[in-house]
Amino acid sequence: MAARQLMGGKAPFLSSATRREALFAKPGTTNPRLCRRSVCSGSHSLKLVNHSCLTCQPGADRVIDYENNAVNLPQHFRGPPTSGNGGVATGLYACLGAHFLETNVAQLQVKLHQPVPLSTDLDFDEEQVDNETVSVTVGINGETVLSGWASSRIKEPVMSEDTALELQRHVALSEEQKNRFDSYEEVFGPSKDHFAECFVCGPESRLGLRLRLRQITDQIFWQTWNPGRRWEDQGALASLPAIAALDCTSALGFYVNGFLGEHESCLLGTYDAAVTSLPLFDSEEGFRVISKTRERVGRKIYTDVGLFGATGEVHVLGKATWIVVSPEVAKG
Ligand SMILES: [Zn+2]
Ligand SMILES: [Zn+2]
């Protein structure tokens, strides 16, 4: 309960110093928000009592079958027409990590090596790197599809402190920003139709999140998000949709801001995420997804993106690295 009061939805805006503390807790310190479903040992090592969530349990949204050592993305978790959404692929590392580490996952990093086939069993192999880190490779027929790691400790910040605070500062909009949000007109790229049913951003995705960020300043893109009880996992937002929500949402401003040319598309290359606090369903206000593109270097575009509570709680911070490809390649 104390943790809830500390960072809950009704809390006043946190002071700058407190926000810095919450954002960049030193490795080895205890984050009380990580104690849900866990037996807190008082240090940062938290024993999870049987990680199980809606994307791990049998059902329409299951992506991991531990008995058969298989990852399998159902059709509604698509990005392009025939392959999985990169954010979903990344989010499943939070489940894999929690399962193998027996703790909640504080940080993860995933690299997408090739399009993730849908409705297909993929194998996974895990290797314990140290007491708090597990690396997992997902593949098919000996070829790597995903590689990466999950850790029960925040190893290094995924973005600069200034950037994180800048994103956080925009959880509430000024009048001018509201007007900009309301009058925003999207600039679409050549892959618009291919991603119409993308789980995260597709306007026509029946079971999807349908998250379309809009511009609120020259650089910052923003959207509110009420995920609905479908994605609730014991009072909190399940980790897979929480992480997936920061995927293609971070790329929606690429055309309007000139990071992509009109004949270019992009695919997620790597994704780093830090889970700073659990997104609890304790506020009618829902969440905020806020992104800012860092830079394009050659064929790579780096974007910072965060999931926040309505009053500024930092839930997930992500850094997406996008690879510029042709629209043909982006189709998956
Ligand atoms: Zn899970
Ligand atoms: Zn998308």
**Residue 209 · residue 227 · CB < 8 Å:** yes
Q: Provide the pLDDT for residue 44.
A: 40
Ligand nearest to the CA of 48: 1
- pLDDT number for residue 235: 87
Summarize pLDDT for 65-107 with one digit per residue, the tens: 998 999 999 999 999 999 999 999 999 999 999 999 998 899 9
Domain 32-151 has CATH 1.20.1050.10: no
User: Which one of the ligands is nearest to 77 CA?
Assistant: 2
Which is nearest to 317 in space by CA: 23, 30, 10?
Answer: 23
Q: Which ligand is nearest to the CA of 50?
A: 1
> Which ligand is nearest the CA of 211, by number?
2
Burial class (CB in 10 A: 0-12, 13-18, 19+), 65: middle
Q: Are 56 and 64 in contact (CB under 8 A)?
A: yes
Q: What ligand has the least distance to the C-alpha of 66?
A: 1
Cα separation, 77 vs 83, whole angstroms: 8
Instruction: Tell me, in angstroms, the distance from the centre of ligand 2 to residue 79's CA.
Output: 6
Helix ranges (DSSP H) in the chain: 2-7, 16-23, 86-101, 161-169, 175-182, 239-244, 327-330
Report DSSP letters for 50-75, one per residue.
----TTTSSSTT--EETTTTEE-B-G
CA neighbor of 75 nearest in space, from 206, 192, 175: 206
Report CA(38)–ligand 1 centroid distance (Å): 14
- pLDDT of the residue at 11: 33
Cβ contacts of 297 within 8 Å, gap of 6 or more: none
Report the C-alpha gap between 208 and 220 in whole angstroms.
Answer: 23
d(CA 278, CA 238): 9
pTM (2 decimals)? Answer: 0.86
- State which residues have CB under 5 angstroms from ligand 2, the bound ion: 195, 198, 200-201, 248
Question: What tens digit of pLDDT does each residue of 283-301 get?
Answer: 788 999 999 999 999 999 9
Q: Which ligand lies nearest the alpha carbon of 88?
A: 2
Sequence ranges of the chain with CATH classification 3.10.129.10: 2-25+156-330, 32-151
Spell out, as residue ranges, where the chain has pLDDT lower than 70. Answer: 1-50
245 Cα–ligand 2 center, Å? 9
Long-range contacts of 175-180 (CB under 8 A, 24+ apart): 177/216, 177/217, 177/222, 180/214, 180/215, 180/216, 180/217
SS3 string, 162-193, reads: HHHHHHHHCCCCCHHHHHHHHCCCCCCCCCCH
How many Å lie between the centroid of ligand 2 and the Cα of residue 147? 21
Q: Which residues pair with 78 in a beta bridge?
A: 84
Q: Which CATH class name applies to 2-25+156-330?
A: alpha beta
The SS3 assignment for 290 reads strand
Q: What is the DSSP letter of 126?
A: E
